[in-house]
Structure 1
Amino acid sequence: MRQGSRRRLCLLPLAFFASMSLADAPRVAAAADLKFALGEIAATYAQQTGSKVQISFGSSGNFARQIPQGAPFDLFLSADEDYIFRLAAQGLLRDRGRLYAIGRIALLAPPGSPLPVDGQLRGLAATLADGRLQRLAIANPAHAPYGRAARAALEHAGLWQALQGRLVFGENVAQAAQFALSGSAQGGIVAWSLVRSPELSERGEAALIPESWHPPLRQRMALTRRASPEATAFYDYLQQPAARAVFEHYGFSLPAR
């Protein structure tokens, strides 16, 4: 399927892996857009090595605040590389880490929504103008990189001000996708990596928004100062061809090695 095509999808609730009950497993803080891609990578890693990781998915901005407060994470995969740079400048990370992916955003709507789905947001503008659109979900721009990207795209389309009072903010981009499909909103702007998940089917329609409409979602990862050897091994695995192929499958652009 070409990137610009529409997809049918079904969103499953966020859940941690059973490996999280293992007290000695490395703890990973991961941006919510990685829910399905990183979940698949971690499952394959466990099968191949017998080593499991504990993954917490959420807002990159929230994780960036928790780590200086002592949150016991070994590895941080952020959806915004600036959070990594700031933590590194505070001496909380081993180094400035590695760029692992560049994300994209998409417009999403469930069946029966009055919102036509197109990447240029013409349908959004039309339904907003005629009063059919009541709510649109995005991640909270205050701390979620995908929320900031959504705001930038809406500003580019000249729709941000008109949408004030109609926006529903998710704590992270995965929650925004849940709102978009659950009836809390008539659609949303979410991560393309969630849209491409095989777990999403028959619950909505989505289309890519031009990447030139928002600052690039440069996603970077880094080990914290407390990282264990097991965390280092998983960090190294994420840079290998097998893991990179999974990121690419979920719609991420890959940085040159």
Structure 2
Amino acid sequence: MRKGIVFMMLLSLLMGACAAKTDPPTLKVAAAADLTLAFQEVGKRFEAKTGTRVVFSFGSTGQLAEQIENGAPFDVFAAANVQAIDKLTKEKLVVPETAHVYALGRIGIATKLKSVQTLNDLLKDDIKKIAIANPDHAPYGLAAKQTLQHAGIWEKVQPKIVYGKNIADTLAYVESGNAEAGIVALSLMKTSHVDFHLIKEAMHAPIQQAVAVMTATKHREEAKQFVAFLRSTEGQEIMKKYGFSLPKGK
């Protein structure tokens, strides 16, 4: 009887060890805040397809890149601009052959006011605050600044500008009423109830969304699978659904 109990205990431990070995890993993906809605769907589809779970950390591209440089244990980095990936590639922090531009972002004016539809409307007296992401570390904030400069109104509206930590934080300024208008990502508008007016792409430098696998990842194959899924027909259709344009060749 005693031998039987010991045998069952050993068998249970052995089965547990085998299960632990076969359980798929959880990928940690650092992703720009504009990807919040799109990547939530990408993550669900990827997990259903591969069994690999994905946990996202959303934030501004610059701040996430800094975390990676300081040793943050991410497996994949999806930035809002290709320059961030290029810089990390030079620092040997990403696997070079996995670096790709997979989507192009779009921006527009978000507001609750019917009187605001164009960039020049931002000059109106009833617009006290205009929210944009911090251009020092958020590519969408830089695109917003470039747009206002291209329109010739940057210096005029600068006293009204309030900076969000990232593009999701910027939209929150408008939704909460803490800013009468903001320049935000089209990709975040599916669940928002503010009015949105798309800005022409020619008003700013292209917002090239880029992704790469981290050199330090312990799950390189699974991380490569995530990048491959993002670039697949299924992944690209999800990106289009949330307002992203596809790079040439897609």
Query: TM-score normalised by the shorter chain: which range applies?
Result: 0.7 to 0.9
- Bigger-Rg structure (1/2): 2
Are residue 139 (structure 1) and residue 133 (structure 2) matched? yes
Query: Paired residue for 1:44?
Result: 45
Given the alignment, which residue of 148, 155, 171 partners 2:165? 171
1:230 aligns with 2:243: no
Matched, 1:247 2:248: no
Deviations 1:202-252 (A, max 9, x none): x21001101000000011100010231222221211111001001011111
Which residue in 2 is equivalent to 1:116? 116
Identity %: 38
1:90 aligns with: 91
Match of 1:190 among 175, 184, 206: 184
Aligned to 2:17: none
Deviation sequence 1:154-196 (CA, Å, 0-9, x none): 111111111222111110001100111111100100001112x
- SS of alignment partner, residue 210 of structure 2: strand
After superposition, the Cα gap between the structure-2 partners of 1:181 and 1:115, relative to the gap in structure 1 and judged at 3 Å, is farther
Q: Which amino acid aligns with 2:34?
A: D
Q: Is the 8 A contact 2:122 2:181 kept in 1?
A: no
For residues 140 and 87 of structure 2, the distance between their equivalents in structure 1, rounded to whole angstroms, comes to: 18
The secondary structure found in structure 2 opposite 1:102 is strand
Q: Which moved more, 1:79-88 or 1:228-237?
A: 228-237
Partner residue, 1:8: none
In the aligned structure 1, how far is the partner of 2:63 from the partner of 2:85? 13
1:77 aligns with 2:78: yes
Q: Do the aligned residues in 1 keep the contact of 2:30 with 2:64 (CA within 8 Å)?
A: yes
Aligned partner of residue 238 in structure 1, secondary structure:
helix
Higher mean C-alpha deviation, range 36-45 or range 145-154: 36-45
Instruction: Find the aligned partners of 1:93 and 1:170 in 2 and give their Cα distance.
Output: 28
**Higher RCO, 1 vs 2 (CA within 8 Å, ≥6 residues apart):** 1
Confirm or deny: 8 A CA contact 1:25 1:230 kept in the other structure: no
Partners of 2:175 and 2:114 in 1: CA distance: 13
Deviations 1:9-62 (A, max 9, x none): xxxxxxxxxxxxx99411100011101011111112222332210101110011
The amino acid across from 2:80 in the alignment is A
Give the structure-1-normalised TM-score.
0.83
Please identify runs of 4+ aligned residues in structure 1 that moved more than 4 A.
none
Q: Quick check: 1:102–1:219 contact (8 Å CA) kept in 2? A: yes
Q: What is the TM-score with the length of structure 2 in the denominator?
A: 0.85
Residue number among 178, 199, 204 corresponding to 2:194 in the alignment? 204
* Inter-partner Cα distance in structure 1 for 2:149 and 2:236: 32
Give the Cα separation in 1 of the matches to 2:115 and 2:139. 24
One-letter amino acid matched to 2:116:
P
Give the counterpart letter for 1:102 in structure 2. L
The question of whether the paired residues in 1 share the 8 Å contact of 2:38 and 2:187 is answered with yes
Tell me if the contact between 1:115 and 1:133 (Cα under 8 Å) persists in the aligned partners.
Answer: no
Q: Give the direction of change, closer, same or farther, for the CA distance of 1:23–1:243 in structure 2 (3 Å limit).
A: closer
Q: Secondary structure at the match of 2:132?
A: strand
1:157 aligns with 2:147: no
Verify the 8 A CA contact 1:114 1:186 in the aligned structure 2: no
